Amino acid sequence: MKKFQLVALGITSLLIVALISISSCRKETGCYDRELARRYENAFCTADCPGVVGCDGKTYCNSCEAARKGIRIK
């Protein structure tokens, strides 16, 4: 019985660690847009670089470059 309890505890611990790892790897909720990234993945972006701020707070060269990374601009 003791061996079964240890195995169950080990499995439970692994599941908790896996769930924490999965949830911490997600893109920022509400900011990353997978569809936007898909639409712009092969887009030709111009070299103009006025600088735009994305919804993640980072600065991108222009809105096209941000969109290629799936980030909407503010």
Residues 22-60: tens digit of each pLDDT: 444 444 458 999 999 999 999 999 999 999 999 999 999
Residue 23's pLDDT is 45
How many CA atoms, within 13 angstroms, populate the side-chain half-sphere of residue 65? 14
Higher pLDDT, 28 or 12: 12
What count of residues does the chain have? 74
Dist CA 22 CA 12 (whole Å):
15
- The four Cα atoms 54, 56, 58, 60 give a dihedral, to 10 degrees, of -30
Dist CA 49 CA 64 (whole Å):
10
**What's the predicted TM-score (pTM) here?**
0.58
Confidence category of residue 12, pLDDT binned at 50, 70, 90: low
Residue 74's pLDDT is 85
